A and B are shown apart, each in its own frame.
Chain A
Amino acid sequence: MAWITNGLAQIGAGLLSLLAGLGARTLFGFQATWRLFTPPFYPRIFVAQVAEFFYFSLPVVGLTALFTGMVLALQSHTGFERFSAEDAVPQVVALSIARELGPVLAGLMVSGRMGAAMAAELGAMRVTEQIDALSTLRVDPMRYLVAPRILAATLSLPLLVLVADVIGILGGYAVAVGQLSFDGPLFISNVMRFLTGGDLFSGLIKAAVFGYLIAVMGCYHGFAASAGAEGVGRATTAAVVSGAIAILASNFLLTALLFGVV
Protein backbone atom coordinates (compact mmCIF):
# COMPACT_ATOMS: atom_id res chain seq x y z
CA MET A 1 0.00 0.00 0.00
CA ALA A 2 2.84 2.35 0.83
CA TRP A 3 4.09 2.42 -2.72
CA ILE A 4 0.64 3.37 -3.96
CA THR A 5 0.31 6.28 -1.54
CA ASN A 6 3.89 7.35 -2.25
CA GLY A 7 3.20 7.25 -5.98
CA LEU A 8 0.01 9.26 -5.59
CA ALA A 9 1.84 11.76 -3.37
CA GLN A 10 4.51 12.18 -6.03
CA ILE A 11 1.93 12.67 -8.76
CA GLY A 12 0.14 15.22 -6.57
CA ALA A 13 3.37 17.07 -5.81
CA GLY A 14 4.27 17.12 -9.50
CA LEU A 15 0.83 18.46 -10.40
CA LEU A 16 1.03 21.16 -7.74
CA SER A 17 4.47 22.14 -8.96
CA LEU A 18 3.20 22.31 -12.54
CA LEU A 19 0.28 24.51 -11.53
CA ALA A 20 2.52 26.75 -9.43
CA GLY A 21 4.87 27.18 -12.39
CA LEU A 22 1.97 27.96 -14.71
CA GLY A 23 0.59 30.44 -12.19
CA ALA A 24 3.96 32.15 -11.76
CA ARG A 25 4.36 32.61 -15.54
CA THR A 26 0.79 33.87 -15.90
CA LEU A 27 1.23 36.37 -13.06
CA PHE A 28 4.54 37.52 -14.56
CA GLY A 29 2.83 38.05 -17.91
CA PHE A 30 -0.01 40.04 -16.33
CA GLN A 31 2.38 42.21 -14.33
CA ALA A 32 4.38 43.03 -17.45
CA THR A 33 1.28 43.59 -19.59
CA TRP A 34 -0.18 46.03 -17.08
CA ARG A 35 2.95 48.13 -17.44
CA LEU A 36 2.35 48.50 -21.18
CA PHE A 37 -0.57 50.80 -20.40
CA THR A 38 0.98 53.03 -17.75
CA PRO A 39 3.94 55.41 -18.11
CA PRO A 40 6.89 55.73 -18.19
CA PHE A 41 7.52 54.05 -21.55
CA TYR A 42 10.86 53.19 -23.09
CA PRO A 43 10.52 53.63 -26.88
CA ARG A 44 14.27 53.22 -27.59
CA ILE A 45 14.26 49.74 -26.10
CA PHE A 46 11.04 48.90 -27.94
CA VAL A 47 12.54 49.95 -31.30
CA ALA A 48 15.73 47.97 -30.63
CA GLN A 49 13.67 44.90 -29.78
CA VAL A 50 11.53 45.25 -32.92
CA ALA A 51 14.77 45.26 -34.93
CA GLU A 52 15.88 42.09 -33.14
CA PHE A 53 12.54 40.33 -33.48
CA PHE A 54 11.63 41.35 -37.00
CA TYR A 55 14.65 42.38 -39.03
CA PHE A 56 17.22 39.96 -37.64
CA SER A 57 14.77 37.04 -37.58
CA LEU A 58 13.78 37.52 -41.24
CA PRO A 59 16.49 35.27 -42.74
CA VAL A 60 15.75 32.25 -40.56
CA VAL A 61 11.99 32.62 -40.79
CA GLY A 62 12.14 33.29 -44.54
CA LEU A 63 14.23 30.19 -45.22
CA THR A 64 11.97 28.07 -43.02
CA ALA A 65 8.88 29.30 -44.88
CA LEU A 66 10.50 28.84 -48.29
CA PHE A 67 11.45 25.20 -47.73
CA THR A 68 8.17 24.43 -45.98
CA GLY A 69 6.21 25.76 -48.96
CA MET A 70 8.37 23.72 -51.34
CA VAL A 71 7.96 20.51 -49.35
CA LEU A 72 4.25 21.11 -48.95
CA ALA A 73 3.79 21.40 -52.73
CA LEU A 74 5.72 18.18 -53.30
CA GLN A 75 3.97 16.22 -50.58
CA SER A 76 0.46 17.38 -51.40
CA HIS A 77 1.03 16.68 -55.07
CA THR A 78 2.21 13.14 -54.26
CA GLY A 79 -0.87 12.54 -52.13
CA PHE A 80 -3.45 14.14 -54.40
CA GLU A 81 -2.07 12.39 -57.45
CA ARG A 82 -3.48 9.12 -56.07
CA PHE A 83 -7.04 10.33 -56.55
CA SER A 84 -6.45 12.79 -59.40
CA ALA A 85 -6.81 15.92 -57.33
CA GLU A 86 -3.49 17.56 -58.19
CA ASP A 87 -5.27 20.82 -59.01
CA ALA A 88 -5.84 21.37 -55.30
CA VAL A 89 -2.12 21.84 -54.60
CA PRO A 90 -2.16 25.69 -54.71
CA GLN A 91 -5.11 25.90 -52.34
CA VAL A 92 -3.59 23.40 -49.90
CA VAL A 93 -0.23 25.16 -49.92
CA ALA A 94 -1.79 28.59 -49.36
CA LEU A 95 -4.25 27.51 -46.66
CA SER A 96 -1.73 25.39 -44.79
CA ILE A 97 0.87 28.14 -44.80
CA ALA A 98 -1.49 30.96 -43.89
CA ARG A 99 -3.50 29.18 -41.23
CA GLU A 100 -1.02 26.82 -39.59
CA LEU A 101 2.51 26.37 -40.81
CA GLY A 102 3.39 30.04 -41.23
CA PRO A 103 2.56 31.13 -37.68
CA VAL A 104 3.59 27.87 -35.95
CA LEU A 105 6.92 27.39 -37.69
CA ALA A 106 7.80 31.09 -37.51
CA GLY A 107 6.83 31.00 -33.82
CA LEU A 108 9.00 27.97 -33.13
CA MET A 109 11.97 29.42 -34.99
CA VAL A 110 11.64 32.79 -33.23
CA SER A 111 11.18 31.02 -29.90
CA GLY A 112 14.49 29.24 -30.50
CA ARG A 113 16.20 32.42 -31.57
CA MET A 114 14.67 35.24 -29.53
CA GLY A 115 13.30 33.31 -26.53
CA ALA A 116 16.78 31.95 -25.94
CA ALA A 117 18.39 35.34 -26.51
CA MET A 118 16.07 37.07 -24.06
CA ALA A 119 16.52 34.43 -21.38
CA ALA A 120 20.30 34.52 -21.80
CA GLU A 121 20.52 38.32 -21.76
CA LEU A 122 18.18 38.84 -18.82
CA GLY A 123 19.64 35.82 -17.01
CA ALA A 124 23.13 37.28 -17.33
CA MET A 125 21.76 40.59 -16.04
CA ARG A 126 20.17 38.77 -13.10
CA VAL A 127 23.30 36.89 -12.02
CA THR A 128 25.51 39.97 -12.40
CA GLU A 129 23.04 42.02 -10.30
CA GLN A 130 22.19 44.39 -13.15
CA ILE A 131 18.47 43.82 -12.56
CA ASP A 132 18.90 44.63 -8.87
CA ALA A 133 20.88 47.70 -9.91
CA LEU A 134 17.91 48.92 -11.95
CA SER A 135 15.73 48.82 -8.85
CA THR A 136 18.26 50.77 -6.79
CA LEU A 137 18.38 53.37 -9.59
CA ARG A 138 14.62 53.85 -9.20
CA VAL A 139 13.74 52.17 -12.49
CA ASP A 140 11.23 49.31 -12.50
CA PRO A 141 12.97 46.32 -14.17
CA MET A 142 9.65 44.86 -15.38
CA ARG A 143 8.76 48.13 -17.04
CA TYR A 144 12.22 48.76 -18.49
CA LEU A 145 13.23 45.26 -19.56
CA VAL A 146 10.11 43.12 -19.94
CA ALA A 147 7.27 45.36 -21.15
CA PRO A 148 9.09 46.66 -24.30
CA ARG A 149 10.13 43.11 -25.22
CA ILE A 150 6.58 41.81 -24.87
CA LEU A 151 5.16 44.64 -27.00
CA ALA A 152 7.88 44.24 -29.63
CA ALA A 153 7.36 40.47 -29.85
CA THR A 154 3.57 40.75 -30.01
CA LEU A 155 3.69 43.26 -32.85
CA SER A 156 6.69 41.86 -34.74
CA LEU A 157 5.70 38.22 -35.09
CA PRO A 158 2.54 38.95 -37.14
CA LEU A 159 4.68 41.02 -39.54
CA LEU A 160 7.18 38.18 -39.78
CA VAL A 161 4.38 35.71 -40.42
CA LEU A 162 2.97 37.90 -43.17
CA VAL A 163 6.35 37.81 -44.89
CA ALA A 164 6.63 34.06 -44.19
CA ASP A 165 3.21 33.49 -45.78
CA VAL A 166 4.30 35.20 -48.98
CA ILE A 167 7.65 33.40 -49.11
CA GLY A 168 6.08 30.03 -48.27
CA ILE A 169 3.51 30.34 -51.05
CA LEU A 170 6.25 31.44 -53.44
CA GLY A 171 8.23 28.33 -52.44
CA GLY A 172 5.19 26.19 -53.28
CA TYR A 173 4.78 28.11 -56.55
CA ALA A 174 8.43 27.52 -57.52
CA VAL A 175 8.13 23.75 -57.04
CA ALA A 176 4.67 23.51 -58.59
CA VAL A 177 5.60 25.48 -61.71
CA GLY A 178 9.26 24.43 -61.98
CA GLN A 179 8.99 20.75 -61.15
CA LEU A 180 5.36 19.70 -61.28
CA SER A 181 4.46 21.50 -64.53
CA PHE A 182 1.70 23.67 -63.06
CA ASP A 183 0.56 26.69 -64.94
CA GLY A 184 1.96 29.76 -63.11
CA PRO A 185 -0.94 32.21 -63.57
CA LEU A 186 -3.42 29.45 -62.71
CA PHE A 187 -1.51 28.69 -59.48
CA ILE A 188 -1.65 32.34 -58.47
CA SER A 189 -5.29 32.68 -59.45
CA ASN A 190 -6.24 29.59 -57.41
CA VAL A 191 -4.38 30.92 -54.40
CA MET A 192 -6.10 34.31 -54.69
CA ARG A 193 -9.49 32.71 -55.18
CA PHE A 194 -9.37 30.34 -52.23
CA LEU A 195 -7.32 32.25 -49.70
CA THR A 196 -9.64 34.53 -47.73
CA GLY A 197 -8.84 37.48 -45.51
CA GLY A 198 -10.06 35.36 -42.61
CA ASP A 199 -7.37 32.74 -43.29
CA LEU A 200 -4.64 35.36 -43.24
CA PHE A 201 -6.13 37.16 -40.27
CA SER A 202 -6.38 33.99 -38.16
CA GLY A 203 -2.70 33.31 -38.80
CA LEU A 204 -1.78 36.82 -37.75
CA ILE A 205 -3.85 36.56 -34.56
CA LYS A 206 -2.04 33.33 -33.75
CA ALA A 207 1.30 35.00 -34.45
CA ALA A 208 0.53 37.86 -32.07
CA VAL A 209 -0.35 35.40 -29.29
CA PHE A 210 2.77 33.32 -30.01
CA GLY A 211 4.95 36.45 -29.92
CA TYR A 212 3.48 37.41 -26.57
CA LEU A 213 4.08 33.91 -25.17
CA ILE A 214 7.66 33.74 -26.50
CA ALA A 215 8.52 37.05 -24.80
CA VAL A 216 6.82 36.14 -21.51
CA MET A 217 8.64 32.78 -21.36
CA GLY A 218 12.01 34.25 -22.34
CA CYS A 219 11.76 37.11 -19.86
CA TYR A 220 10.34 34.97 -17.05
CA HIS A 221 13.13 32.41 -17.24
CA GLY A 222 15.76 35.14 -17.58
CA PHE A 223 14.43 36.89 -14.47
CA ALA A 224 14.32 33.59 -12.57
CA ALA A 225 17.91 32.61 -13.51
CA SER A 226 20.26 31.83 -10.67
CA ALA A 227 23.56 30.15 -9.84
CA GLY A 228 25.91 31.74 -12.36
CA ALA A 229 26.65 30.55 -15.89
CA GLU A 230 25.00 27.17 -15.29
CA GLY A 231 21.81 28.89 -14.16
CA VAL A 232 21.78 31.09 -17.25
CA GLY A 233 22.20 28.00 -19.43
CA ARG A 234 19.30 26.28 -17.68
CA ALA A 235 17.15 29.40 -18.04
CA THR A 236 17.88 29.55 -21.76
CA THR A 237 16.92 25.92 -22.30
CA ALA A 238 13.78 26.31 -20.19
CA ALA A 239 12.75 29.41 -22.14
CA VAL A 240 13.00 27.62 -25.49
CA VAL A 241 11.23 24.48 -24.30
CA SER A 242 8.42 26.27 -22.48
CA GLY A 243 8.05 28.73 -25.38
CA ALA A 244 7.65 25.87 -27.84
CA ILE A 245 5.15 24.07 -25.61
CA ALA A 246 3.18 27.27 -25.08
CA ILE A 247 3.03 27.84 -28.85
CA LEU A 248 1.86 24.31 -29.62
CA ALA A 249 -0.71 24.21 -26.82
CA SER A 250 -2.10 27.66 -27.55
CA ASN A 251 -2.19 26.82 -31.26
CA PHE A 252 -4.69 24.07 -30.55
CA LEU A 253 -6.85 26.37 -28.43
CA LEU A 254 -6.67 29.19 -30.97
CA THR A 255 -7.48 26.88 -33.87
CA ALA A 256 -10.50 25.58 -32.00
CA LEU A 257 -11.55 29.11 -31.14
CA LEU A 258 -10.95 30.73 -34.53
CA PHE A 259 -12.37 27.95 -36.68
CA GLY A 260 -15.12 26.84 -34.32
CA VAL A 261 -13.96 23.25 -34.06
CA VAL A 262 -15.21 22.92 -30.50
Chain B
Amino acid sequence: MSAALEISDLRVVLGGRDILRRVQFSARPGETIALLGGSGTGKSVTLKAILGLLPATAGSVRIDGVDALAEPSARASEARARIGMLFQGGALFDSLSIWENIGFRLLHAEGFSRAESRDRALEMLDAVGLDRALAERRPADLSGGQQKRAGLARALAAEPEVLFFDEPTTGLDPLSAGRIDALMAETVDRTGATAVMITHDLASVRRVCQRVAFLWEGEIGWEGPVDQLDDSGFEPLQAFLRGRD
Protein backbone atom coordinates (compact mmCIF):
# COMPACT_ATOMS: atom_id res chain seq x y z
CA MET B 1 0.00 0.00 0.00
CA SER B 2 1.24 3.50 -0.71
CA ALA B 3 0.01 7.04 -0.35
CA ALA B 4 0.79 10.43 -1.82
CA LEU B 5 2.42 12.90 0.56
CA GLU B 6 2.15 16.64 0.07
CA ILE B 7 3.70 19.23 2.37
CA SER B 8 2.42 22.75 1.64
CA ASP B 9 3.51 26.15 2.95
CA LEU B 10 4.75 24.74 6.24
CA ARG B 11 5.77 27.53 8.61
CA VAL B 12 7.23 27.11 12.07
CA VAL B 13 8.08 29.96 14.43
CA LEU B 14 10.06 29.13 17.56
CA GLY B 15 11.07 31.71 20.13
CA GLY B 16 9.87 34.49 17.83
CA ARG B 17 12.18 33.30 15.03
CA ASP B 18 11.08 31.88 11.68
CA ILE B 19 12.71 28.46 11.59
CA LEU B 20 10.70 27.34 8.58
CA ARG B 21 9.24 30.04 6.35
CA ARG B 22 7.50 28.16 3.56
CA VAL B 23 8.46 24.55 3.17
CA GLN B 24 6.75 22.58 0.47
CA PHE B 25 7.58 19.35 -1.24
CA SER B 26 5.74 16.22 -2.24
CA ALA B 27 6.35 12.54 -2.75
CA ARG B 28 4.47 10.34 -5.15
CA PRO B 29 3.05 7.01 -3.92
CA GLY B 30 5.91 4.56 -3.40
CA GLU B 31 8.61 7.19 -3.87
CA THR B 32 11.48 7.84 -1.44
CA ILE B 33 12.57 11.45 -1.12
CA ALA B 34 15.59 12.76 0.80
CA LEU B 35 15.37 15.99 2.78
CA LEU B 36 18.88 17.40 2.70
CA GLY B 37 20.31 20.49 4.33
CA GLY B 38 23.18 21.73 6.45
CA SER B 39 23.19 21.59 10.23
CA GLY B 40 20.70 24.00 11.78
CA THR B 41 18.69 24.52 8.60
CA GLY B 42 15.58 23.03 10.17
CA LYS B 43 15.44 19.45 8.87
CA SER B 44 14.48 17.98 12.22
CA VAL B 45 12.05 20.84 12.85
CA THR B 46 10.43 20.06 9.50
CA LEU B 47 10.08 16.44 10.46
CA LYS B 48 8.66 17.22 13.90
CA ALA B 49 6.20 19.71 12.41
CA ILE B 50 5.06 17.13 9.84
CA LEU B 51 4.55 14.58 12.62
CA GLY B 52 2.66 17.11 14.75
CA LEU B 53 5.33 17.04 17.48
CA LEU B 54 5.94 20.78 17.04
CA PRO B 55 3.15 23.25 16.36
CA ALA B 56 3.15 24.56 12.79
CA THR B 57 2.13 28.22 12.50
CA ALA B 58 0.75 27.56 9.03
CA GLY B 59 0.69 24.93 6.32
CA SER B 60 -0.64 21.45 5.73
CA VAL B 61 0.59 17.87 5.56
CA ARG B 62 -1.69 15.95 3.21
CA ILE B 63 -1.71 12.19 2.93
CA ASP B 64 -3.82 11.22 -0.07
CA GLY B 65 -5.40 14.65 0.19
CA VAL B 66 -6.30 14.46 3.91
CA ASP B 67 -4.61 17.05 6.13
CA ALA B 68 -2.97 15.26 9.06
CA LEU B 69 -2.38 18.58 10.86
CA ALA B 70 -6.00 19.72 10.68
CA GLU B 71 -8.00 20.36 13.84
CA PRO B 72 -8.62 17.14 15.78
CA SER B 73 -10.94 15.01 13.71
CA ALA B 74 -11.40 11.37 12.83
CA ARG B 75 -10.02 11.94 9.32
CA ALA B 76 -6.90 13.74 10.54
CA SER B 77 -6.35 11.01 13.13
CA GLU B 78 -6.71 8.35 10.42
CA ALA B 79 -4.20 10.22 8.27
CA ARG B 80 -1.68 10.32 11.13
CA ALA B 81 -2.25 6.61 11.74
CA ARG B 82 -0.84 5.93 8.26
CA ILE B 83 2.56 7.31 9.30
CA GLY B 84 5.52 5.31 10.65
CA MET B 85 8.73 6.79 11.99
CA LEU B 86 12.30 5.60 12.52
CA PHE B 87 14.04 7.90 14.99
CA GLN B 88 17.71 8.83 14.82
CA GLY B 89 18.77 6.86 17.89
CA GLY B 90 16.05 4.25 17.51
CA ALA B 91 14.15 5.81 20.47
CA LEU B 92 13.35 2.34 21.78
CA PHE B 93 11.69 2.28 25.20
CA ASP B 94 14.40 1.31 27.71
CA SER B 95 12.03 -0.32 30.17
CA LEU B 96 10.43 -2.67 27.63
CA SER B 97 11.75 -5.77 25.89
CA ILE B 98 12.46 -5.70 22.17
CA TRP B 99 9.24 -7.49 21.28
CA GLU B 100 7.23 -5.15 23.53
CA ASN B 101 8.84 -2.21 21.71
CA ILE B 102 8.03 -3.60 18.29
CA GLY B 103 4.49 -4.61 19.22
CA PHE B 104 3.86 -1.43 21.25
CA ARG B 105 1.48 0.28 18.85
CA LEU B 106 -0.37 -2.95 18.08
CA LEU B 107 -0.91 -3.63 21.79
CA HIS B 108 -1.76 -0.11 22.93
CA ALA B 109 -3.38 1.53 19.93
CA GLU B 110 -4.57 -1.13 17.51
CA GLY B 111 -6.45 -3.51 19.82
CA PHE B 112 -4.13 -6.51 19.46
CA SER B 113 -3.76 -8.93 22.39
CA ARG B 114 -0.33 -9.46 23.98
CA ALA B 115 0.01 -12.83 22.23
CA GLU B 116 -0.95 -11.37 18.85
CA SER B 117 1.41 -8.40 19.34
CA ARG B 118 4.26 -10.75 20.25
CA ASP B 119 3.66 -12.97 17.21
CA ARG B 120 3.64 -9.94 14.94
CA ALA B 121 6.78 -8.57 16.62
CA LEU B 122 8.60 -11.86 15.99
CA GLU B 123 7.59 -11.70 12.32
CA MET B 124 8.95 -8.15 12.17
CA LEU B 125 12.24 -9.30 13.72
CA ASP B 126 12.53 -11.77 10.84
CA ALA B 127 11.69 -9.03 8.34
CA VAL B 128 14.50 -6.76 9.53
CA GLY B 129 17.00 -9.60 9.85
CA LEU B 130 17.22 -9.78 13.63
CA ASP B 131 17.42 -13.05 15.53
CA ARG B 132 14.21 -13.97 17.38
CA ALA B 133 16.38 -14.73 20.40
CA LEU B 134 16.67 -10.96 20.87
CA ALA B 135 12.93 -10.62 21.47
CA GLU B 136 13.16 -10.80 25.26
CA ARG B 137 16.28 -8.60 25.54
CA ARG B 138 16.25 -4.91 26.50
CA PRO B 139 17.33 -2.20 24.03
CA ALA B 140 20.53 -1.57 26.03
CA ASP B 141 21.66 -5.13 25.20
CA LEU B 142 21.65 -4.40 21.44
CA SER B 143 24.29 -2.74 19.28
CA GLY B 144 23.56 0.58 17.54
CA GLY B 145 22.83 -1.17 14.23
CA GLN B 146 20.55 -3.71 15.91
CA GLN B 147 18.68 -0.89 17.67
CA LYS B 148 18.11 0.83 14.32
CA ARG B 149 16.76 -2.42 12.91
CA ALA B 150 14.49 -2.90 15.91
CA GLY B 151 13.35 0.72 15.51
CA LEU B 152 12.56 0.04 11.87
CA ALA B 153 10.66 -3.11 12.85
CA ARG B 154 8.62 -1.03 15.30
CA ALA B 155 7.90 1.59 12.65
CA LEU B 156 6.75 -1.08 10.21
CA ALA B 157 4.73 -3.26 12.60
CA ALA B 158 1.44 -1.43 11.97
CA GLU B 159 2.05 -1.41 8.18
CA PRO B 160 2.28 2.36 7.68
CA GLU B 161 1.86 3.80 4.21
CA VAL B 162 4.16 6.77 4.79
CA LEU B 163 7.55 6.28 6.44
CA PHE B 164 9.92 8.86 7.88
CA PHE B 165 13.57 8.06 8.52
CA ASP B 166 15.50 10.53 10.70
CA GLU B 167 19.25 10.23 10.15
CA PRO B 168 19.01 6.45 9.88
CA THR B 169 22.73 5.83 9.34
CA THR B 170 24.16 8.46 11.71
CA GLY B 171 26.57 6.95 14.22
CA LEU B 172 26.90 3.64 12.39
CA ASP B 173 30.07 2.21 10.85
CA PRO B 174 30.07 2.08 7.01
CA LEU B 175 29.22 -1.61 6.94
CA SER B 176 26.23 -1.26 9.29
CA ALA B 177 25.14 1.91 7.44
CA GLY B 178 25.18 -0.01 4.14
CA ARG B 179 23.07 -2.76 5.69
CA ILE B 180 20.53 -0.28 7.07
CA ASP B 181 20.35 1.41 3.64
CA ALA B 182 19.75 -1.93 1.93
CA LEU B 183 17.11 -2.80 4.52
CA MET B 184 15.30 0.53 4.06
CA ALA B 185 15.36 0.24 0.27
CA GLU B 186 14.12 -3.35 0.42
CA THR B 187 11.42 -2.44 2.96
CA VAL B 188 10.12 0.46 0.91
CA ASP B 189 10.18 -1.71 -2.19
CA ARG B 190 8.36 -4.61 -0.49
CA THR B 191 5.71 -2.56 1.31
CA GLY B 192 5.27 0.06 -1.40
CA ALA B 193 5.41 2.77 1.27
CA THR B 194 6.11 6.40 0.46
CA ALA B 195 9.20 7.51 2.38
CA VAL B 196 10.98 10.68 3.48
CA MET B 197 14.56 10.39 4.69
CA ILE B 198 16.36 13.13 6.58
CA THR B 199 20.09 12.66 6.39
CA HIS B 200 23.56 14.14 5.92
CA ASP B 201 24.77 10.90 4.34
CA LEU B 202 24.94 11.43 0.58
CA ALA B 203 25.99 7.84 -0.09
CA SER B 204 22.82 6.76 1.68
CA VAL B 205 20.74 9.21 -0.38
CA ARG B 206 22.13 7.81 -3.63
CA ARG B 207 21.47 4.24 -2.51
CA VAL B 208 17.92 4.66 -1.20
CA CYS B 209 16.22 7.76 -2.65
CA GLN B 210 14.78 8.71 -6.02
CA ARG B 211 14.46 12.44 -5.38
CA VAL B 212 15.98 15.14 -3.18
CA ALA B 213 14.56 18.29 -1.56
CA PHE B 214 17.26 20.68 -0.32
CA LEU B 215 16.34 22.89 2.63
CA TRP B 216 17.83 26.37 2.51
CA GLU B 217 16.93 29.41 4.60
CA GLY B 218 13.61 28.02 5.77
CA GLU B 219 12.43 26.93 2.32
CA ILE B 220 13.05 24.16 -0.18
CA GLY B 221 15.80 25.75 -2.26
CA TRP B 222 16.04 22.97 -4.81
CA GLU B 223 14.07 19.82 -5.56
CA GLY B 224 14.86 17.22 -8.20
CA PRO B 225 15.90 13.65 -9.04
CA VAL B 226 18.93 12.20 -7.28
CA ASP B 227 20.82 11.79 -10.57
CA GLN B 228 20.61 15.57 -11.13
CA LEU B 229 22.01 16.37 -7.71
CA ASP B 230 25.48 17.23 -9.01
CA ASP B 231 24.12 19.41 -11.81
CA SER B 232 21.51 21.33 -9.83
CA GLY B 233 23.06 24.73 -10.53
CA PHE B 234 21.90 25.81 -7.04
CA GLU B 235 25.05 27.17 -5.44
CA PRO B 236 24.18 26.49 -1.75
CA LEU B 237 23.49 22.86 -2.68
CA GLN B 238 26.73 22.59 -4.64
CA ALA B 239 28.62 24.07 -1.69
CA PHE B 240 26.89 21.53 0.60
CA LEU B 241 27.86 18.69 -1.75
CA ARG B 242 31.49 19.87 -1.98
CA GLY B 243 31.65 19.92 1.79
CA ARG B 244 30.08 16.52 2.13
CA ASP B 245 31.04 14.36 -0.87
- Assess whether B80 is in contact with A129, with CB atoms less than 8 Å apart: no
Q: Interface digits, A120-158 against B, CB 8 Å rule (1 contact, 0 not)? A: 000011001110110111110000100000000000000
Contact of B154 among A42, A128, A135, A137 (CB under 8 A): A137
Q: With CB as the reference atom, state the residue of chain B lying closest to A144.
A: B108
Residue tally, chain A, CB below 8 Å to B: 15
Q: With CB as the reference atom, state the residue of chain A lying closest to B44.
A: A129
**What is the bound-complex CA distance between A138 and B81, given in angstroms?**
7
Known contacts A128-B89, A132-B91; A137 and B109 CB within 8 A of each other: yes
Q: With CB as the reference atom, state the residue of chain A lying closest to B84.
A: A136
Q: Interface digits, B34-73 against A, CB 8 Å rule (1 contact, 0 not)? A: 0000000000000010011100000000000000000000
Q: With CB as the reference atom, state the residue of chain A lying closest to B87.
A: A129
- Assess whether A136 is in contact with B94, with CB atoms less than 8 Å apart: no
Residues of chain B from 12 to 54 with CB closer than 8 A to chain A in the complex: 48, 51-53
Q: With CB as the reference atom, state the residue of chain A lying closest to B151.
A: A133
Is B104 an interface residue when CB atoms closer than 8 A count as contact?
yes
Residues of chain B from 61 to 106 with CB closer than 8 A to chain A in the complex: 80-81, 83-85, 87-89, 91-94, 104-105
- Assess whether A129 is in contact with B89, with CB atoms less than 8 Å apart: yes
Q: Interface digits, B106-136 against A, CB 8 Å rule (1 contact, 0 not)? A: 0011100000000000000000000000000
Q: With CB as the reference atom, state the residue of chain B lying closest to A130.
A: B91
Contact residues in B for A128 (Cβ distance below 8 Å): 89, 91
**Contact-residue bracket for chain B:** 20 to 34
- Assess whether A133 is in contact with B52, with CB atoms less than 8 Å apart: no
Known contacts A136-B83, A136-B85, A138-B80; A130 and B93 CB within 8 A of each other: yes
Contact of A137 among B48, B89, B104 (CB under 8 A): B104
**What is the bound-complex CA distance between A136 and B104, given in angstroms?**
11
**What is the bound-complex CA distance between A124 and B93, given in angstroms?**
11
Q: With CB as the reference atom, state the residue of chain A lying closest to B157.
A: A137
Contact of A138 among B88, B93, B105, B154 (CB under 8 A): B105
Q: How far is the CB of A194 from chain B (nearest CB, A)?
A: 47
- Assess whether B94 is in contact with A130, with CB atoms less than 8 Å apart: yes
Q: With CB as the reference atom, state the residue of chain B lying closest to A143.
A: B108
Q: How far is the CB of B191 from chain A (nearest CB, A)?
A: 17
Contact residues in B for A40 (Cβ distance below 8 Å): 108
Contact of B108 among A129, A135, A136, A137 (CB under 8 A): A137
**What is the bound-complex CA distance between A129 and B86, given in angstroms?**
11
Known contacts A138-B109, A139-B104, A139-B105; A133 and B81 CB within 8 A of each other: no
Contact residues in B for A42 (Cβ distance below 8 Å): 108
Q: How far is the CB of A128 from chain B (nearest CB, A)?
A: 6
- Assess whether A133 is in contact with B91, with CB atoms less than 8 Å apart: yes
Q: With CB as the reference atom, state the residue of chain B lying closest to A136.
A: B85
Q: How far is the CB of A127 from chain B (nearest CB, A)?
A: 10
Q: How far is the CB of A75 from chain B (nearest CB, A)?
A: 44
**What is the bound-complex CA distance between A11 and B48, given in angstroms?**
36
Contact residues in B for A138 (Cβ distance below 8 Å): 80-81, 105, 108-110
Q: Interface digits, A62-73 against B, CB 8 Å rule (1 contact, 0 not)? A: 000000000000
Contact residues in B for A144 (Cβ distance below 8 Å): 108
Q: With CB as the reference atom, state the residue of chain B lying closest to A138.
A: B109
Contact of A136 among B51, B92, B93 (CB under 8 A): B51
**What is the bound-complex CA distance between A137 and B53, given in angstroms?**
12
**What is the bound-complex CA distance between A260 and B100, given in angstroms?**
52
- Assess whether A133 is in contact with B87, with CB atoms less than 8 Å apart: yes
Q: How far is the CB of A42 from chain B (nearest CB, A)?
A: 8
Contact of B105 among A125, A129, A132, A137 (CB under 8 A): A137
- Assess whether A129 is in contact with B104, with CB atoms less than 8 Å apart: no
B residues at A contact (CB < 8 Å)? 48, 51-53, 80-81, 83-85, 87-89, 91-94, 104-105, 108-110, 154
**Given pairs A133-B93, A138-B109, 13 additional interface contacts (CB within 8 A):** A125-B94, A128-B91, A129-B87, A129-B88, A129-B89, A130-B93, A130-B94, A132-B91, A133-B91, A133-B92, A136-B85, A139-B104, A139-B108
**26 CB < 8 A contacts A-B:** A40-B108, A124-B94, A128-B89, A128-B91, A129-B87, A129-B88, A129-B89, A129-B91, A130-B91, A132-B53, A132-B87, A132-B91, A133-B85, A133-B91, A133-B92, A135-B51, A135-B52, A135-B53, A136-B83, A136-B84, A137-B105, A137-B109, A137-B154, A138-B81, A139-B104, A139-B109
The 7 tightest CB contacts between A and B, nearest first, are A138-B109, A133-B91, A137-B105, A129-B91, A136-B85, A129-B87, A139-B108
